[in-house]
Amino acid sequence: MADTKLVKVYLYTRFERLWHWFQALMIIILMITGFEVHGLYSLMGFEAAVEVHNFVGLFWLGSFAFFAFWLVITGEWKQYIPTTKKLFAVARYYAWGIFHGQDHPVQKSPGAKHNPLQRLAYLGISAMLLPVQMATGLLYYLYNSLGDVSLAPIAVIHTLAAYLLVNFLIIHVYMTTTGHSLFSHIKGMITGWEEIYDTTKIEDWETKATKKA
């Protein structure tokens, strides 16, 4: 899009940005303490790692429930509705086009912050992987009061979900570098403003976003 200028669009509210970074911090703490509990290394000691892991895990569970409530009351849940429109074009872009200087087939906008592939990924993470991780973690925490329940399958599922989250985190960090500049996506999640290619002459995104903010 050499002939198309970049314009600033206000995409992420203050709450969304705070939640994003706060959740990232909690996930990283849970990973560090969780893997220490499994004996991969020793940083704070087994007992301290268990206490921190349990506390942060329970706090994350409550925070996630509040975030889900926020999505419902604000209507932002619509951002995660899956769509097949341009899905294969986006997949082809990330698999081939991005390495050959092609333009992204889907531009972000306040009403569509995530492309079709992101919608599927975030929906899968938020609606399936995270609930499984939280549910098994809660069962693990309440194990002594559950009676005659086998801990082995709970532990296996919880650990597997943790490794899947690590995989997602690595991919997510890599994807933040695929904007028009190395740190443009990260900057957007810090300030709320992202630069996108102006593909329309009808709407003044910056003016609309400023009024909305």
In CATH terms, the fold of domain 6-212 is Fumarate Reductase Cytochrome B subunit (1.20.950)
Four-point Cα dihedral 144, 68, 59, 50, nearest 10: 50
Q: Mean pLDDT throughout 201-209? A: 41
- Is pTM beyond 0.85 here? no
Nearest to 23 by CA among 177, 165, 184, 163: 165
| C-beta of residue 2 within 8 angstroms of C-beta of residue 198 | no
Question: Which residues lie closer than 8 Å to 85 by C-beta, 6 or more apart?
Answer: 116
Cα–Cα distance for residue pair 53/28, rounded to 1 Å: 11
Secondary structure element (H or E) that encloses residue 9, with its range:
strand 6-10
Could you report the per-residue pLDDT of 16-30, keeping only the tens digit for each? 999 999 999 999 999
Structure tokens, 88: 């294969």
Listed by start position, the domains of the chain span 6-212
Give the up-direction half-sphere exposure of residue 82: CA atoms within 13 A in the CB hemisphere.
12
Q: Using CA atoms of 179, 181, 187, 192 in order, give the dihedral in degrees to the nearest 10.
A: -50
**Percent of the chain scored above 90 by pLDDT?**
68
Taking residues 62-84, what's their average pLDDT?
A: 93
- The confidence band for 213, taking pLDDT boundaries of 50, 70 and 90, is very low
Does 205 have pLDDT greater than 60? Answer: no
CA distances (Å), origin 16, targets 11, 23, 60, 68, 71: 10, 10, 15, 12, 10
Residues 140-179 have pLDDT tens digits of 899 888 877 888 899 999 999 999 999 999 999 999 998 8
Cα(172)–Cα(95) distance, integer angstroms: 15
